[in-house]
Amino acid sequence: VIDVVCIDKNNECSPVEVILSMPSSDSTVRLPLSPRVDPLFDYSETCSCTFEVVECVALSNCARFETIFVLEEQQQQTNIDLRQNITLCADIAGRYLTAYRLQQQISSQRTKSSSLLERAGLTTWLDLPGAVDTESNLDNNLSDKQCSEIISLAQRLSSMDGALNLSSHLGLIAGGLAPRPNRPDREVVFRPYSSRDAHILLQLKRTVEVVSVVGREEDGSGSGKRPKYSRGRIKTLLDGALSAGKAARNEDIVPEIKQLKEYGSDGTPPKGVADVVAQAAIEKAVQPSVESCVARLTAMETADDIAQLRQRVNEIASSLNQDSQNCSRLTKMANELLHQPTILLREGKLSRSEIEDVIKSIKVELRSHA
C-alpha cells in the first residue's frame, strides 16, 4: 500500500511524503521528499492519495529494466480541480516504490560483493541468476544515505500510464521497433529475421508465465476463477505485446519484411528500405494488437464497475420498500435506469466520479416512485 501525501506548502513538514506499508507484516517506510523532487506537483492545497499494488511484474534483460504496476486507488482527499494531482500521485507512488526496492537490492548486494555490482551495473546485475534478494519485508530504519539514494534513483526513473501508452510501448519492444533506453540516440534498425532481436519474445513469454503463476496462487482456490480486482491486466498487456511481436515477424501479416530477408540475422539494410518496412510492421502488426489489447483491458476495467454499480442500485431499491411486490417493481425500474449508464461504462465514457452522480440520480428517481 502506498500513501502519497502533499501537505500545504506553508506547513513546517515536508510538502510531500511517500509512505510505503505492508499490512501483512505491519511494516512501514516513510520517505519525506523536498518540493524540488517533483516541481510539477501542485503544493497549494493538501492532497492525499492511497494506492494498493494489486499486480506487479518486472521485465528485465540486457537492454532494459521495466516494472509494470497495476495501482488501485483506495481513497483520495483532493479537490476535483486537482484531478491532475491524482495522476501525479500515481506517478510518484510507482517511481518511489520501484526506487525503494532497487535501493534495497543494492544494499543487499553491497554486503555480498560490491565489486560485482560495480562491474556489472545495476540493470545487468539484476538479470543475473540468484542475484535478486527475494525478502519481502520493508526496512523502516533507513539511513540518510539510503533515503538520498532512493530519491536519486526515483528521479532517474521515467514512467508512463494508461492502457494505450503501455500497450503501444510493449508492442514496439516485442516487435524490435523500440529504442534502447541505454542508447536513446541510436537509430532503431528493424531486423525481423534476427534471432537475437527475437529473443525478447521468449523473455516476454517467461514473464507472462510468472504473472500467470502468481495470479493462480493469489486466487487461493486453485479453481482458476478470476480473483479480486480482476487480476490479469498485466498478463493481458504482455499477451498483447507477444501478439504484436509475432505478427511483426510474420510474412503473411507483413509481407514487406521479405525485403529484409537477404540481410539475414545481423545485416544492416538500407535506411530507406528499413524505415518503410518498419512503418508497415507498426501499421499492420503492432497497432492492431494494441487496439485489441486496449479493448480487452477496457472490458476488464469496466466489468467490476458495472457489477458494483448494479449491486449498489439494487440494494437501494430493496431498502426503499419492504413490500415484495413494490420492491420487485422498483428493481425492474432500477434495471431500466441502469441500461444507459451500463452502455456508457462499457464504452469507457463514464468516469468513477460520474458513477457516483448516476447512483445519486437513480436513488432520487426510485424514491419518488417508492
Residue 13 clears pLDDT 50, i.e. is over it? no
Classify residue 266: in a domain, yes or no. Answer: yes
161 belongs to a structural domain: no
Q: What is the pLDDT of residue 83?
A: 56
Structure confidence at residue 278 (pLDDT): 95
Q: What pLDDT score was predicted for residue 289? A: 97
Residues 150 and 14 in one domain: yes
Write down how long the chain is. Answer: 370
Contact 245, 175 (CB under 8 A): yes
Q: Which domain holds residue 208?
A: 167-300
Q: Do 112 and 172 fall within a single domain? A: no
Q: Which of 248, 275, 300 marks a domain boundary?
A: 300
Check whether residue 231 and residue 131 sit in a common domain.
Answer: no
Whether 243 is in a domain gets the answer: yes
The pLDDT tens digits of the residues spanning 158-168 come to: 899 989 999 99
* Same domain as 323, residue 258: no
DSSP string spanning 114-176? HHHHHHH-HHHHHTSTT-S-----------HHHHHHHHHHHHH-----SHHHHHHHHHHHHTT
203 and 292 share one domain: yes
285 assigned to some structural domain = yes
Average pLDDT, rounded, for the chain: 78
| Whether residue 6 is found in the same domain as residue 152 | yes
Residues 50-58: what's their mean pLDDT? Answer: 86
Q: How confident is the model at residue 130 (pLDDT cuts 50, 70, 90)?
A: low
Q: What is the dihedral angle through the alpha carbons of 272, 273, 276, 282, rounded to the nearest 10 degrees?
A: -120
Query: Quick one: 200 and 93 in the same domain?
Result: no
Q: Provide the pLDDT confidence category of residue 229 given band limits of 50, 70 and 90.
A: very low
What per-residue confidence (pLDDT) applies to 119?
Answer: 52
Pick 124 or 272 by higher pLDDT: 272
Q: Tell me: do 230 and 142 sit in the same domain.
A: no
Q: Are residues 7 and 126 in the same domain?
A: yes
**Is 162 part of a structural domain of the chain?**
no
State the average pLDDT over residues 278-304. Answer: 91
Of the pLDDT bands very low, low, confident and very high (cuts 50, 70, 90), residue 108 is: confident
Q: Which residue has the cell 501525501?
A: 5
Dist CA 77 CA 82 (whole Å): 10
